[in-house]
Amino acid sequence: MTGLLLVLVTMFHPARATVGDPVTIEFAAPTVVDPSPDYEVVSRARNSIVIRTFVPHTITVTGHSAEGPVSVVIPIYPVLKPDDKLEPAPLKPPVPEPWPRLPFVAIGIAALAAIAAWTAVVIVAKRRVAKPRIVIVPADAFRARVMALRKGDRMRWANLADAVRAYLAAVHADLGAELTTSELLARIEDVSVAQILRQGDLEKFSPWGAAPANFDDALKSALAIPSWAEPQPPAVDDSVDEAAA
């Protein structure tokens, strides 16, 4: 009677276990389960045990407790459908994922930012370009600079040409220092200036240096430049003065 009572109060779940499912058996009293090739024991506790099997059939779990022998019958159902032909399911093509838009948006934003940055750099660089300044060189300062070249023996022609260029740019806006030698000589007709400028170019850019020439004569010619290059003061009308008197 006691053994029957133990069987009646022994429970297991899930009620419909399939192959591979862990089955938990709850005993009415602490029970030692007998080993069996029909199932494997996953875990044990004082009043419960977890088993599983991979063969669909009815298994009988036996054991014994302080009250006597214990036995419980558990049906294990297959996971296959009835009359399953064991054929693999047809392969389905993978579902195409939508093309990711976020990377392209990020690349576009980065490209626009780079273009804006380079545009700003170019604009700032153009604003910072130093504009050529016209330095006013009075005639006496020009002559002093020319006279100082008498004592020089290195790059004399180049220094004289630079002094002439600076002076002409100061007294005439259309003879700016940005003009080339050919452009400058096309605007003035003076043989001495032409010789000075060409000799200066040869000394600066030619591997053979300046051509043989009399540098003292070139200095004298340069000292005479203010006499014809300096702007003349406006003439005073004597008739107006006499009328006022």
Give all domains of the chain, ordered by start, each with its CATH number.
2-77 (2.60.40.10), 139-229 (no CATH)
Quick one: tokens of 182? 């050919």
Nearest to 67 by CA among 17, 149, 9: 9
d(CA 46, CA 221): 125
- The β-bridge partners of 116 are none
pLDDT range class, residue 238, cuts 50, 70, 90:
low
Quick one: tokens of 18? 């399939």
Nearest to 157 by CA among 86, 215, 98, 231: 215
Give pLDDT tens digits for 68-105. Answer: 888 888 898 887 777 666 677 778 888 888 878 888 88
Give pLDDT tens digits for 105-135. Answer: 889 899 999 998 888 888 877 766 555 454 4
Q: 3-state DSSP call for residue 151?
A: coil
* pLDDT over threshold 50, residue 3: no
Identify the pLDDT of residue 234. 57
pTM, entire model: 0.40
Task: Answer yes or no: are the C-beta atoms of 213 and 198 closer than 8 Å.
Answer: no
Task: Answer yes or no: are the C-beta atoms of 68 and 6 closer than 8 Å.
Answer: yes
Quick one: tokens of 167? 């002076």
